[in-house]
Amino acid sequence: MVTSRQLDEGSTRDAAAGLLALCAFLGSPERDLAILGEGNVSCRVDDDSMLVKASGASLGAMGDGDLTEVRLSVLLELVASGGEVDDAEVASALVRSQRHSTAKRPSVEALLHAVCLDAGASAVGHTHPVSVNAVLCSDRASALVEGALFPDQIVVLGHRQLLVPYVDPGVALARHVAVMLGEFVAAEGVLPKVIYLVNHGMFALGDSTDEVQRITVMADKVARVLLSALAVGAPRYLTAADARRIDTRPDELLRRQALAARTPSAQKELTS
Ligand SMILES: [Zn+2]
């Protein structure tokens, strides 16, 4: 007989396997998405748990012990609390959030992962792509969100993304993003697929680790095209009407479904 605890352990193991595959992809050196200890990933395990990369671990060289399971409620409580929170209180909350006291510690960016998962994402990937950061570290950062450059960008990233000004990473940033995410959802009716952080990097919000992978490579491509367009002249965006049309065309919706169905985890579901 399979107990509920064994089922829990099974789902955590599956989540860890998916997350480690995402880490290997995002941390692969030739992709220029994250080096050394940069970036982190997370996914929801159950109502109050997420798996997240441990602080200091390298995305390109992750092992089972480099993921840590934390309680979302402890981190979200800290984000929702008003007033100043000092570094010691943050460190204490991160320790209290851990499901297993012997596991490695989560980084302070776990707070922002908790906010993204709480907003509705199932998996999150945070990277510092060279291409994206080249734009985010310039005075043209807003060019990333002023419009769509080509149709496939809209298919994968949606017609609008979120740009967040530089805020001290940790509680302040998590609170700021929580407010901006709420405003975005109220205006658009959906979560953004990408959160761009000025002078920092990007967060990809997916329904699966496979979608996080697709979002990240498309955001990297958008940034590289934008950098070249800026070198030639001013970027020429699709009109708002054309962008909306791509976002709602039946054939583009089918293409989104086909992309999702082609992913390894979806195929596993189909064949199991
Ligand atoms: Zn970062």
Residue type, 20: L
**pLDDT for residue 269:** 41
245: number of Cβ within 10 Å: 15
Burial of 84 (0-12, 13-18, 19+ CB in 10 A): exposed
CA 138–ligand 1 middle distance (angstroms):
17
Task: Say if residue 214's pLDDT is above 80.
Answer: yes
Provide the pLDDT confidence category of residue 272 given band limits of 50, 70 and 90. very low
Structure confidence by residue, pLDDT tens digits, 181-210: 999 999 999 999 999 999 999 999 999 999
Comparing 263 with 80, the larger pLDDT belongs to 80
**pLDDT for residue 253:** 67
CA–CA separation, 92 vs 78, rounded Å?
A: 11
**pLDDT for residue 271:** 37
* Residue 76 Cα distances to 91, 123, 178, 180, 234, angstroms: 14, 17, 10, 16, 41
Structure confidence by residue, pLDDT tens digits, 24-38: 999 999 999 999 989
β-strand partners of 54: 106
175: number of Cβ within 10 Å: 20
CA 271–ligand 1 middle distance (angstroms):
37
Burial of 167 (0-12, 13-18, 19+ CB in 10 A): middle
Structure confidence by residue, pLDDT tens digits, 221-230: 999 999 999 9
CA–CA separation, 146 vs 156, rounded Å?
A: 17
Task: Please state the pTM of the whole predicted model.
Answer: 0.88
CA 45–ligand 1 middle distance (angstroms):
22
Three-state DSSP at 138 gives: coil
CA–CA separation, 49 vs 177, rounded Å?
A: 20
CA 146–ligand 1 middle distance (angstroms):
23
Max Cα-Cα span within the chain: 66
Three-state DSSP at 164 gives: strand
Task: Say if residue 5's pLDDT is above 70.
Answer: no
β-strand partners of 46: 49
CA–CA separation, 248 vs 227, rounded Å?
A: 28
Comparing 69 with 3, the larger pLDDT belongs to 69
CA 199–ligand 1 middle distance (angstroms):
10
Mean pLDDT, the chain, integer: 88
In the sheet that holds 40-46, the strands lie side by side as 67-71, 49-53, 40-46, 123-127, 201-206, 194-197, 162-164
CA 38–ligand 1 middle distance (angstroms):
6
Three-state DSSP at 51 gives: strand
Task: Say if residue 157's pLDDT is above 80.
Answer: yes
CA 27–ligand 1 middle distance (angstroms):
13
Comparing 10 with 87, the larger pLDDT belongs to 87
Task: Say if residue 4's pLDDT is above 60.
Answer: no
